[in-house]
Structure 1
Amino acid sequence: MKPFGMIPFFIPHVGCLYVCTFCNQSRITGQSGISHLTPDYIQQTIKDYVGTKRCEKFWEVAFYGGSFTAIPKDLQHKLLMPAYEILQRGIIDGIRCSTRPDAVGDEAITLLQSYGVKTVELGVQSMNDGILFDAKRGHTAQEVVEAVTRLKQHDMIVGVQLLPGLKGETWQTIIETAITVAALQPDFIRIYPVLVIENTELADQYRVGEYEPLSTELAIQYCAFLKDWFEQHGIEVIRTGLQSTEELDSGNSLVAGPYEPAMGELVVNEQYKQRIQRCIDEHVSQYKYSLSNDCFNLTEYTTYENLGFSRVNADNTGCKDKTNNDKTNYIGNNSIAIKHNIIISYPRSLTSKVRGLKNRNVLYFAELYPQYSISWCEESRRNTVRCCIDGLQYVL
C-alpha cells in the first residue's frame, strides 16, 4: 500500500458545543480562526502538497481541530466543496474529518458522503462516564457506542481518538476503555496522553492542586497497554502522542504533562519491554513450580501461548546454554542455586525498538534481573523478536 499523504486543514474549536477542560486547539496547532480557508486557498494548498508526487502517496484532505459535523451546514458546504472538486479531478484520493460522537446522526453522515468523505474520526477520549463528565465533554460513553455503530452501518471508515490521563483516570478506567473500544472494532485509533495546555480549565486545576498530570513513565505504560490491546484485537493504532509543533516545543503553551516528541518510539520500546518481562517472569514462575514438585522438565512449560507468545522447538533455537553459577538465585526452600540464561535476539530493523531509546530496555533489565545472564543479539537472519531462556525459545 502507498503511504498516506495527509493534507490537514485546522478548524480549531469550530462547531464545538462545549469547552472541554483540557482543550485549547489554537495553542496546540498554533492557528486561530478559519477566515483564511477560502475555496482558492484550500485548492491551492492541496495542489502544493501533492505537487509532482501524485502517484507516490494516498493523498487525503483532513479537516481537524473542531467538530466538523456540528458546524453550520453552509460552512460545511463551503469547506468541503473545493476539496470535493479536487477529489473528482483525481488529484487526491479521499477526504476525512473529525467530530464529536453526539454529532453524527444519519443526516450528518449523508451530507459527508455526498462530498466524498469516507473517514470520520471521533473524539472519544474515554469510555468512563465519570471522566467524560469531569472533562465537560458533553456526551456519554453510550453515545460513542451509537456513533461508531451508525458510521459503520453507513460503510464509513471510523477512527477513535483517546486521551489517557484525564482527571480521575486509573488503570481500572484505562482497562475499561480498552475493552469497550475494542468491542466496537473501529478501523484505527490515535492515542494522545493528556497534556496541560495554557489557558484551559485543566491548567487552572493543576495550579491549585486539583489535577495531577501523568508522569512520562505512566503515560508510556498506559499507551503501551492500550496499543498492545488494540493490536491484539486487530485494530491499528496509527499514532501515540501529539505531533511535535513549534508552539509545544517552545514551552510557551505547555504547562505540564508527559510531552515527548519521541512518544511513539518510547511506547513501542515499552511494548517490547513488557513482552520480554512477561516471558521471563512466566518462565521463572514455572521453574519455581517445577522445582517445588521435583519436576525439572523445562519442555513441559506450556503457558506462554496464553500470553500471546509462540514457542519454538528448543532443538532448533541456535541458543547456547551458558550455565554460570557465579551469581545465584535461591528458589523456595530447595536451596538450589539457579542462574537463568537469557538471549534476546532481533532483526537489525527492530534493534532500537527492542533495546529501547538510548538502550533504556537493556539498562532496565540489567537492573531488574542482576542475578541472570542477559544477552542482546542482533541477527540479520531473524525477522522476528525471540527470547531464549535456558534453551527454550519464544517468539514475542
Structure 2
Amino acid sequence: MKPFGMIPFFIPHIGCPYVCTFCNQSRITGQSGISHLTPEYIRQTIKDYIGSKRNDKFWEVAFYGGSFTAIHSDLQHTLLEPAYEMLRQGIIDGIRCSTRPDAVGDEAISLLQSYGVKTVELGVQSMNDQILVDAKRGHTAQEVVDAVDRLKQRGMTVGVQLLPGLKGETWETILETAIAVVKLKPDFVRIYPVLVIENTELAEQYRSGEYKPLSTDQAITYCAFLKEWFESHNIEVIRTGLQSTDELDSGDSLLAGPYEPAMGELVVNEQFKQRIERCFDEHFSESALGDQYTYNFSPLSNHYSHKDKCRTHANNTDRLMKHRIVISYPRSLTSKVRGLKNRNILYFQEAYPQFNIEWCEDSTRNTVRCCIDGLQYVL
C-alpha cells in the first residue's frame, strides 16, 4: 500500500459550541481564523502539496482543528467543494474531517458523503463522564458510542482521538477509556497527552495548583499501555503525541506538560521495555524461584514490583547470574528495542543489575526475541 500523504487545512475552533478547558487551537497550530481558506487557496494548496508526486502516495485532504460538522452548512459546502473537485479529477484519493461526537447526525453524515468524505475522526478525549464534564466537553461517553455506531452503519471509516492526562485522570480512568474504546471498534486511534497551553482554563488551573500535568515519563507510560492495548485488539494507533510546530517549539505557547517531539519513538521504546519485563515475569515466576523472588506486573502500577527488592537481589545474585539472557532483534528495530539513546539498555542495567543481558542484532529473523536459559519468548 502507498504511504499516506496528508494535506491538512486547519479550522481552529470553528464550529465548536464550547470552549474546552485544554483547548487553544490557534496556539497549537500557529494559525488563527479561516479567511484565507478560499476555494482557490484550497485548490492551489493541494496542487503544491502533490507537485509531481501524484503516484507516490495516497493523497488525502484533511479538515482539522474545529468541529467540522458543527459549522454552518454553507461554510461546509465552500470548504468541501474544491476538495471534492480535486477528488473527482483524480488529483487526490480521499477527504476526511474531524468533529465532535454530538455533531454527526444523519443529516451531517449525508452532507459529508455527498462530497466524497469517507473518514471522520471524533474528538473523544476520554470515556469517563466526570473527566468530560471537568474538561467542559459538552458531550457524554454514551454520545461517543452512538456517534461511532451511526458512522459505521453509514459505511464511514472512524477514528478516535484521545487525550490522556486530563484533570481527574488516573490509571483506573485510563483503563476505563481503553476498554470502552475497544468495544467501539474504531478503525484507528490517535493519542495526544494533554499539554497546558497559554490562554486556556487549564493554564489557570495549573497556575492555581488545581491541575497537575503528566510528566513526560507518565505520558509515555500511559501512551504505551494504550497503544499496546489497542494494537492487541487489532486497532491501529496512527499517532502518539502532537506533531512538532514552530509555535510549540518556541515555548511561547506551551506552559507545561509532556511535550516531546520524539514521543512516538519513546512510546514504542516503552512498549518493548514492558514486553521484555513481561518475559522476565513469566520466566522468573514464583513457581520457578519460590516466594522469596516474585515479579508482579500490572498496568496499574506500570512496573514490576519486587518483594523486598534490595534484600532479594542480594540473596539471589549468584543464583540469577547463572541465567543467560539475550535480547535479539532485526536491524530495522534496533533503535526501537534498545531505545532512544539506548534508554532501554540503561534502564535494564539499573533495574536488573543481577542479570547479564546481551543485546544482539540478528539479521536472520524479523521478530524480537528474549531468550532466557535457551527458552525463547517472541515479543
**What aligned pairs does 1:133-282 form with structure 2 within 5 A after superposition?**
133-282=133-282
User: Taking structure 1 as reference, are residues 99 and 291 closer, same or farther at Cα in structure 2, changes over 3 Å only?
Assistant: closer
Larger-gyration structure (1/2): 1
Long gaps (5+) in structure 2: 292-311
Distance in 2, matches of 1:155 and 1:117, equals: 11
Q: Give the match for residue 287 of structure 2.
A: 289
Distance 1:223 1:338 in 2: 32
CA distance in 2, matches of 1:249, 1:204: 21
Q: In 2, Cα distance between the equivalents of 1:224 and 1:39? A: 40
Could you state the TM-score of these two structures normalised by the residue count of structure 2?
0.93
Q: CA shift at 1:126, angstroms?
A: 0.2
In the TM superposition, what is the alpha-carbon distance from 1:34 to its structure 2 partner?
A: 0.4
- Shift of the alpha carbon at 1:328? 7.4
Q: Aligned partners of 2:289, 2:197: CA distance in 1, in Å?
A: 54
Cα separation, 2, equivalents of 1:47 and 1:222: 39
User: 4+ residue runs of structure 1 moved beyond 4 angstroms?
Assistant: none
1:337 paired residue among 316, 319, 332: 319
Given that 1:242 and 1:261 are in contact with CA atoms closer than 8 Å, whether structure 2 keeps it comes out as yes
1:46-104 CA deviation, whole Å, 9 max, x = no partner? 11111111111000000000000000000000000011011100000000000000000
| Alpha-carbon offset, residue 292 of structure 1 | 4.4
- Residue 373 of structure 1 is matched in structure 2 by 356
The reply on whether 1:2 has 2:5 as its aligned counterpart is: no
1:384 aligns to what SS in structure 2? Answer: coil
Aligned residue runs from structure 1 range 47-196, under 5 A: 47-196=47-196
Aligned residues: 359
* Deviation sequence 1:133-166 (CA, Å, 0-9, x none): 0000000000000000000000000000000000
Shift of 1:379: 1.2
Render the CA deviation track for 1:163-201: whole Å, top value 9, x for unaligned: 000000000000000000011110000000000000000
Q: Displacement, 1:10?
A: 0.3
Alpha carbons of structure 1 residues 248 and 114: separation in structure 2 relative to 1, 3 Å: same
Cα distance between partner residues in 2 of 1:214 and 1:266: 15
Q: TM-score, normalized by length of structure 1? A: 0.89
Paired-residue identity, %: 80
Could you tell me how far 1:290 is from its partner in structure 2?
A: 3.4
The letter for the 2-side match of 1:78 is T
In the alignment, which residue of structure 2 is the partner of 1:351? Answer: 334
Instruction: Tell me if structure 2 keeps the 8 A contact 1:329–1:338.
Output: no
Measure, in 2, the Cα distance between the counterparts of 1:279 and 1:140.
39
In structure 2, give the amino acid aligned to 1:284: F
For the residue of structure 2 that corresponds to 1:214, the secondary structure is coil
Query: Given the alignment of the two structures, is residue 395 of structure 1 paired with residue 346 of structure 2, yes or no?
Result: no
Change over 3 Å in CA distance of 1:291–1:368 after alignment to 2: closer
Answer whether contact 1:330 1:338 (CA < 8 A) is retained.
no
Distance 1:150-1:271 versus aligned 2 partners, 3 A rule: same
Q: Which residue of 2 aligns with 1:308?
A: none
Rounded to whole Å, the distance in 2 between the matches of 1:390 and 1:329 is 21
Over 3 Å counting, the alpha-carbon distance change for 1:328 and 1:158 in structure 2 is closer
Q: Which amino acid aligns with 1:196?
A: V
What is the rounded CA distance, in whole Å, between the counterparts of 1:155 and 1:148 in structure 2? Answer: 11
User: Where in structure 2 are the equivalents of 1:17-32 lying within 5 Å?
Assistant: 17-32=17-32
Partner of 2:295: none
Aligned-residue CA RMSD (Å): 1.6
Distance 1:212 1:161 in 2: 22
Distance in 1, matches of 2:289 and 2:172, equals: 35
Task: Give the distance between the partners of 1:252 and 1:154, measured in 2 at CA.
Answer: 43
Using the alignment, how far apart are the partners of 2:202 and 2:320 within structure 1? 51
Whole-angstrom CA distance in 2 between matches of 1:180 and 1:237: 16
